[in-house]
Amino acid sequence: MADAGRVSFQDNHNTYNQTTQQDSRPAMAERKNSTPLMPAFMVSAPGKVIVYGEHAVVYGKAAIAAAISLRSYLLVHFLSKSRRTVSLRFPDISLDHTWCIDDLPWDIFATPGKKRSYYDLVTSLDPELIAALQPHLDVVSPDAPEHIRKIHQSSVTAFLYLFLSLGTTSHPPCVYTLRSTIPIGAGLGSSASIAVCLSTALLIQIRALSGPHNDQPAAESALQIERINRWAFVAEMCIHGNPSGVDNTVASGGKAVLFQRIDYTKPPIVLRLNKFPELPLLLVNTRQSRSTAVEVAKVGKLREKHPAIAAHILDAINDITATAHELISSEDFDEKDPTTLKTLGELASVNHGLLVALGVSHPKLERIRALIDHAGIGWTKLTGAGGGGCAITLLRPDATIESEHSPISPSFSSDQDYTNSQPISPAAPSNSNSNTNGLITPPVKKSHKRTFSRNPILKSLETKLANEGFEQFETTLAGDGVGVLMPAVLMNGSGEEGGEEIDQGKFLRAEGSEGIEALVGVGVGALGGLREAGGGGRGGWGFWRY
């Protein structure tokens, strides 16, 4: 825990210190009261998809989940010492609330037996602590519709529970501003991504984390990820009640995990898959709302009516997961071998067929699969509960190949920086569902330099999907987990010192997913926004890797 009179933190190059002890000179005292205690910093964490094993995992089978390069971003901006307030801003869901730090229920959170240390393992929420938060939840978004207010209050519960568990009354005044490029409510782990961002930021502020830096030992990096993940799970409990833990585990550590819960009275088996390859992925959101509970119930009814058939289907899904795990874990595994991607893709396609047999697909998912299969660009399956939500496609190696062409055509410039996760669909037709993330289509960029056009088959597919109201993202599978930008200054793309300082105004003005990624995105990618496997990101961002 930091000394009461001194706050410090480190990035890869500098140590920042701010003495808060009172000075006898009035001018100095006034300056201290008007100057933020620390420079702003940012945290980012990825969303996730289920690659293999949906629904079978409910019945004790294994599943594989992997990070995607759609991410949430948290900006922590410090206020002057005299402000004594803390604010949570999440414009994507219209949440904006400020509390007086001194009015929060610190006493009960500090009670012996209830006070937690940053290294503690918390597996359940304390009902008395939740009750103590209630007056501070009741004042949040009082005029919002009930379903919106419920979302706001669950988010605030997670934030305040962590804030009071990890902090003290001397916590510096600050504003936590969240933006996300992850579609909300689409089964992509958006809440876990946000939970990881909040956990990381608060642990950084109490100096409970070291790094990240390039020469950090793997074991030390793993310890930091574990601390982040433990508190992110607490936030997930505040939001979901009884989460599996797989979403926050993927959002914390990135890459992929094998997850299995044989006995619900015991913790699940979570095995990190460090060798899971980073792969180009097309993610398509049907914009069709769905209920996980309803889809799980469908499978339950099938098991009751046709137990033997349902058992064979679930066993077959488990065999797919096991085959993928065996392939990735083998000593001679070569992620660059074309047959590797083909095998993983074929397994995904078969997995989808089995999910169709369980009755959890949807006409919109089947339409997406038909269009992509006709284009021949990859292997497609639904991801998550089904019944709507999203489909994922493992893209064939030639699907994203760019070809050089005349610079007078609309195009992407070869030397412009693009993130490794960007929306590619035009604005949805007026009769389609609204986009909760406010995604917009950027104007087509033109360049007078050497330029490239997209694969015409992929381009044609994108147009067809967009015309039918589907939201599309080209993203990367199994990339980095939580990252930190400290201070919140982006280095130039060339790696030179300097760059752009990120403040609240710039962050809030960024329009939609494209604007957020253009401003603060962690990846500077290859053409089309896909970062090469193992490649670097935008200068300044650091990641714990192990």
Q: Which residues contact 414 (CB under 8 A, 6 or more apart)?
A: 449, 450, 451, 452, 527
CA 17/CA 447 separation, integer angstroms: 44
CA 136/CA 98 separation, integer angstroms: 10
Region of 255 please: left (phi>0), alpha (psi -120 to 50) or beta.
Answer: left
Q: Select from 352, 57, 46, 42 the least CA-distant residue to 196.
A: 46
Strand arrangement, sheet containing 451-453: 403-405, 451-453, 412-413
**438-446 contacts at long range (C-beta below 8 A, 24 or more positions apart):** 438/92, 438/511, 438/512, 439/471, 439/512, 439/513, 439/514, 440/511, 440/512, 440/514, 440/515, 441/514, 442/514, 442/515, 444/410, 444/411, 445/410, 445/411, 445/412, 445/413, 445/416, 446/410, 446/411
Contact 482, 204 (CB under 8 A): no
Report the run of H or E that residue 375 belongs to, with start and end.
Answer: helix 363-375
Contact 295, 360 (CB under 8 A): yes
Bridge partners of 395, per DSSP, are 378
Contact 391, 382 (CB under 8 A): yes
Report whether the peptide linkage leading into residue 277 is cis, meaning its omega lies within 30 degrees of zero.
no
Q: What's the half-sphere exposure (Cβ side, CA atoms, 13 Å) at 14? A: 10
CA 299/CA 511 separation, integer angstroms: 40
Crossing angle for the helix pair 338-358 and 292-305, nearest 10 degrees?
70
Active site residues: 247
CA 98/CA 134 separation, integer angstroms: 15
Beta strands in 467-524 (DSSP E): 471-477, 483-485, 489-490, 500-501
Give the single-character DSSP code of 424: -
Contact 282, 373 (CB under 8 A): no
